[in-house]
Chains A and B, each alone.
With several copies, the nearest count.
Chain A
């Protein structure tokens, strides 16, 4: 437990010092939202697609954060030693997933706020609970899958291009689930609250499956190549 926290704290300290999230990833994600607007070039369209686009931007931004999180480990081959400091490799997994969660959650809140401003999405009082639950469960799923695939490609050359290729198809169900649930929470006419909660259930099982897969699979994966 202690080790998990120490690792998460280390990651967050590096984040704080380099301000990657604040100064780069958040602006990048906002930029992506704007670019969607540019590419679509129509307001009613945007409003209809708002929830999906927010989560798509989250996915792209998450790729950057995951890459960053493992660049830090592999730049000077720190991951090899890190693995030798902990009694069980799964601690490294949960430590890194935890710091990832903290950062992604902050990002999700900002992006949702941006969608309200940019795309004119609306948040009602009674659906706030659903919205927060969606944010938390989807972000947990995103963190564990991101961390898992981050370590898969961690020691490979050209990992920048491999990570999205491997992780995005696996994240597609999460994208669909989170988008539909968020749509429900934002009061779309195509999907109601009850349905939104059904999607949340899907998100929860997604996070559980990949969380346990990650804990188990981390050890065989976290070995350097050269």
Chain B
């Protein structure tokens, strides 16, 4: 069995092409920043991964909600939720890594205790916890229900991350230490490259989720086929008419 279809292959090729364009443009075509120099090029990876992680977590939440409501498709939606969260955690990790590398180049340290960074870390750990609870081996329906609730609560943290800077400033008298929004001034090509990056990462995200989800579906199907075999075997165990006790 394979998890690929023509559609996903086309998707994959598109993702590759656009990624190639982004890499070329990011490294060779776009100008270096006046203040930050070449390090600004990290932005083309950093910002899209953050946004795709958001997208992944929102997808997880939506799929979880559907999994709770649509009782007869619970497991299908739950698989999507799980796959999307896995990919989201991956992208969030990339955000953290690219961010701290960027920080190392611009601030001289890997990390600043700025509200956005801190809340990002919380978001990351929340979904690591979500994955941890999915790992606990229980009946799939029950797991779906439980993890759906957690996913729906966890997604509330995204606005917190996004607005943390504003929220913090309005409530907190100390100005935040460093403005992460950066003093980067984006020209048209930079903007175009940035959004190409977003498109490329979105395609990669979709591609990963589709495959991951199909893999899970296949093992579920295998389980169900196995179940039929097992049910037959189980019936054969019975000693009809004979003493079970």
* Inter-subunit contact A152/B133 (CB<8 Å): yes
**A164 CB to nearest chain B CB (Å):** 9
Contact of A156 among B121, B136, B154, B157 (CB under 8 A): B136
Q: How large, as a class, is the contact surface on chain A? A: 35 or more
**Chain B binder among A97-105, A135-143, A165-173:** A165-173
* Inter-subunit contact B113/A43 (CB<8 Å): yes
Q: Contacts A37-B118, A162-B133, A166-B150 given: A46-B142 contact, CB under 8 Å?
A: no
Jot down 13 A-B pairs with beta carbons below 8 A, ordered by A: A34-B122, A43-B112, A43-B177, A117-B110, A120-B109, A169-B122, A169-B125, A170-B126, A170-B154, A173-B160, A210-B153, A220-B148, A225-B138
Number of A-B contacts (CB under 8 A): 108
Query: Is A31 on the interface with B (CB-CB < 8 A)?
Result: yes
- CB-CB under 8 A from B113, the residues of chain A are 37-38, 41-43, 46
**Chain B binder among A1-9, A19-27, A77-85:** A19-27
Query: Is B156 on the interface with A (CB-CB < 8 A)?
Result: yes
Contact of B128 among A27, A42, A202 (CB under 8 A): A27
- CB-CB under 8 A from A116, the residues of chain B are 110
Q: Please, how many angstroms separate the alpha-carbon atoms of A209 and B160 in the complex?
A: 14
- CB-CB under 8 A from A192, the residues of chain B are 173
0 or 1 for each of B9-45: is its CB under 8 Å from A? (1 = yes): 0000000000000000000000000000000000000
**A121 CB to nearest chain B CB (Å):** 11
Query: Is A195 on the interface with B (CB-CB < 8 A)?
Result: yes
Contact of A220 among B125, B146, B171 (CB under 8 A): B146
**A160 CB to nearest chain B CB (Å):** 13
Query: Is B235 on the interface with A (CB-CB < 8 A)?
Result: no
Q: Contacts A19-B135, A27-B128, A220-B68 given: A117-B171 contact, CB under 8 Å?
A: no
